[in-house]
Amino acid sequence: MRSPGLTSIFALVLLLGSAVAQAAIPVYGYKIVRTYPHDAGAYTEGLFYKDGYLYESTGQAGTSTVRKVELQSGETVQRYKLPSQYFGEGIVNWKDRLVQLTWQTQTGFVYDLASFKLRHTFSYAGEGWALTRDDHHLYMSDGTPVLRVLDPESLATTRRITVTADGVPVTNLNELEWIKGELYANVWLTNRIARIDPANGHVVGWIDLGGLFDISQLPDPGNDVLNGIAYDAAHDRLFVTGKRWPKLFEIKLVKRPTP
């Protein structure tokens, strides 16, 4: 039988081990490289970069859109307006298609990428929040700690990834982006982006974007929060913005010293 003293020491070792594990997740700050204009009327739900343009999905029933936006000017060069009953959410491209989710209507849309002409719809259970992709799969968030991996052709769920930080599930996973083998996810209503290992769902880094933009100057700061990640892989450029923010930021990550 273990003596009370040894039991206490064992418990302390476990506690210290847990503290070390928690401290092991690195935190990154940022450096602003460049600022671009962003439509202050765009309630950003989905965002990605392709061939010099941003593709953006905006939300709110009655005003939801899909847009192709010129990066330098922030001007919308192509737009599709969703029927008024739909609240637009995440978007991603696959081959010659554009795939979009809606929030609570369990309906997704597949468009022609070049023309934005609607090809067909598809269904899914639960809410739709965001989409991204690697070379083989689509990844979908629904506001829970569980990301769905979709077959890009059938759009059926093939597996699920539970996202945790130090063993604790991470809720409110929102806009997604695939960057260098990791999933980046906005955590809704925070200034943080989680860097997620897609193999096991572990958060391997936090990006703290506090102070990037003062949302208190916006008309509805409770809702007009950080949301929107896009990556230009060819030039290693990372872009972030928020709902109805007048600016889009190109940033570089800066690792903070371990406490």
- Of 41-45, 76-80, 220-224, the one with minimum mean pLDDT is 220-224
Beta bridge partners of 139: 132, 149
Instruction: Kindly give, in sequence order, each residue whose CB lies less than 8 Å from that of residue 113, ignoring residues fewer than 6 positions away.
Output: 93, 95, 96, 97, 98
* C-alpha closest to that of 97 among 43, 154, 178: 154
Please, what is the average pLDDT of the chain?
Answer: 91
- The DSSP 8-state label assigned to residue 82 in this structure reads P
45-84 pLDDT, tens digit per residue, is 999 999 999 999 999 989 999 999 999 999 999 999 999 9
Classify residue 220 as exposed, middle or buried by CB count within 10 Å of its CB (0-12, 13-18, 19+): exposed
Is the whole-model pTM more than 0.85? yes
pLDDT for position 92? 98
Q: pLDDT category, 11, cuts 50, 70, 90?
A: very low
Contact between 11 and 2 (Cβ < 8 Å):
no
User: What does the alpha-carbon distance between residue 160 and residue 178 come to, in Å, rounded to a whole number?
Assistant: 16
